[in-house]
Every structure is written in C-alpha cells, then in structure tokens.
Amino acid sequence: MNKTLLATAAVALMFAVTACGGSGDSGSTIRVVTLSDSPPNAFVKDGVYTGFDNELLKDIANKEGLKLEFVATDFSALLGRVAGGQSDIASCAIAATAERKKTVDFSAPYNYQSLAIQVKQTSPITGKSGLAGKRVGVVQGTASETWVAANEPTAQLVRFPNDSASLGALKTDAIDATVFDQDTAEAYVKANPDAHLKIAEAFATDTPHGFAFKKGNTSLIGKINDGIKKDIADGTWERLHHQFIPNAPQPAEFLPPKK
C-alpha cells in the first residue's frame, strides 16, 4: 500500500473512532441504558423503548440535535454501565441521592421520587408500619431498597434483580409486599387484575429524579439540562406527565409559566 493510501486509511480510521465516541458531539450516537420492564417510566412496547423518562429524553434529544441508541439492563447495573463508560446516559426514574453522586453525575431534576407499598388485596398490611417483620421485596440498588432499610429495619429485605422478579414473588406469595415507585406500582395493579393487587400506601419524597452520566461529561449534561428547560417551558414535560403518570403530583417547577 502506498503512502497516499496509508494516509487515507489513517484518516478514515480516525473518523470512525470519533463517530463511536458517544460524548454528545454533533453526529455521534448517545448510548442510553434503561429498563425494559418498569412502566410507566421505562419499558418496551411493540419493540420500542418508551415510558415517561424515555419519551422525555427523546424529545430533549430532538431539540438538542442528538441521536439516541437504547439498550436495556437490570436496575442494579444501570449506574455501573454509565460510570464505566459502556453507556452515556442512564434513564429510568433514578433517584439522585448523595451516595449515587459519588460515582456518577446527574442532570437537573425532572421529577421527584414517590414510593408505594404494594400487597395482595387480602393482605393485612395497610401501610408503612405493617412491614415490620414481613418479607418485603425490593429491586436491588433502588431507592425502595434504601427506604425500607432505613425506615423499617426489622423487615426481611428480599432483593431481586428487576421488577418482574419482585412482582412475580408477590403474586406467588413468596413475599408479603413489594416497594416500587408509585407510578410503577399503580401500573402493575392495573396490568395484573387476576393477581388481585392493591396499593397499601403511597408517599412522596423530596429526592429528585435525574438522568445519570459518567462523571465529568459536562458537555452532554449541559445539553440535556438545556433540553429539560425547553421541555418544561413549552409544556412537553406536562403533556408527557399527563400521558404516562397522570395520578402523580406535578411539582410547580416543572410546569410552564402561566400566560
């Protein structure tokens, strides 16, 4: 191969490597890791990744000129994939806690955490106090796990890799209750009428939800934050909230200015 061909090949290789960077530069593909089974925030329907968080992110990407590529994993692996650079953004109602901020950076808030205790309709559990001594299912690494451990230390925590496993255990009476995001729990009640599920208690927290990034990815974080502001201002956040999570509270800071 002559020098001209070598130089041409080298330039082509350089552009190929740059295009795979996923850093948020124009023309690159942003790799999003999410969940496939956690409605209404993040799930797959008809082969398409959707849900409140993912549709919000799609609209932000459209406004900011970004191309997204979605892949699913278990919740416990979400932040590890971002911290390790395998993905650029993690999207699925992720509580931006102080502990998580040690390993990843977060976008500006785009919602707040609400949790719910889910049980069978015949269960004697009516709320938080009823979890004492009970087998309580949680998805490993979630805010639900943290909340149960901190607020009902006598409960027997049963950790699962994903929502489906925790919900399946409740259906078969392998556990006494589960704790999910409120919106997710409400969706599971509606989607599983034969399981005779109910919400024993739902409660709001002051913990914000944010998209997660590898530490130091300030360029991409800035673009996502700009898109969040635009989606709030033009009513997109409000529209998607009504579409996917109409029963959840709408904090005033996420609503468009009154005309």
201: domain CATH number?
A: 3.40.190.10
Please give the pLDDT value at position 183. Answer: 87
Residues 179 and 92 in one domain: no
Handedness of CA 228, 230, 233, 239 (dihedral sign): negative
What Rg do the C-alpha atoms of the chain give, in angstroms?
A: 21
Whether 93 and 111 have beta carbons less than 8 Å apart is answered as: yes
Average pLDDT, the chain: 90
Tell me, yes or no, whether 219 lies in a domain.
Answer: yes
- Among 6-20, 33-47, 127-141, 166-180, the minimum mean pLDDT is found in 6-20
pLDDT exceeds 70 at position 13: no
Alpha carbon distance 202, 30 (integer Å): 35
Residues 93 and 163 in one domain: no
Please give the pLDDT value at position 82. Answer: 98
- For the ranges 1-10, 207-216, 246-255, the maximum mean pLDDT occurs at 207-216
Residues 164 and 82 in one domain: no
Alpha carbon distance 100, 76 (integer Å): 12
Condensed to tens digits (0 to 9), the pLDDT of residues 36-86 reads 999 999 999 999 999 999 999 999 999 999 999 999 999 999 999 999 999
- Domain's final residue, options 190, 206, 222: 206
Residues 121 and 202 in one domain: yes
Q: Which domain holds residue 225?
A: 3-110+210-254
Whether 179 and 116 have beta carbons less than 8 Å apart is answered as: yes
Whether 59 and 110 have beta carbons less than 8 Å apart is answered as: no
pLDDT exceeds 90 at position 193: yes
Residues 40 and 135 in one domain: no
Please give the pLDDT value at position 238. Answer: 97
Residues 39 and 163 in one domain: no
Tell me, yes or no, whether 23 lies in a domain.
Answer: yes
Residues 15 and 104 in one domain: yes
Report the number of distinct structural domains present in the chain. 2
pTM of the model: 0.78
Residues 129 and 191 in one domain: yes
Tell me, yes or no, whether 126 lies in a domain.
Answer: yes
Element housing 24 (H / E): none
Tokens 């800071």 belong to which residue? Answer: 253
Residue % of the chain over a pLDDT of 70:
90
Residues 173 and 64 in one domain: no
Condensed to tens digits (0 to 9), the pLDDT of residues 73-129 reads 999 999 999 999 999 999 999 999 999 999 999 999 999 989 999 999 999 999 999
Tell me, yes or no, whether 141 lies in a domain.
Answer: yes
Alpha carbon distance 44, 50 (integer Å): 6
Residues 121 and 160 in one domain: yes
pLDDT exceeds 90 at position 6: no
Tell me, yes or no, whether 259 lies in a domain.
Answer: no
Residues 75 and 134 in one domain: no
- Domain's final residue, options 167, 183, 206: 206
pLDDT mean over 182-191: 92
Residues 40 and 151 in one domain: no
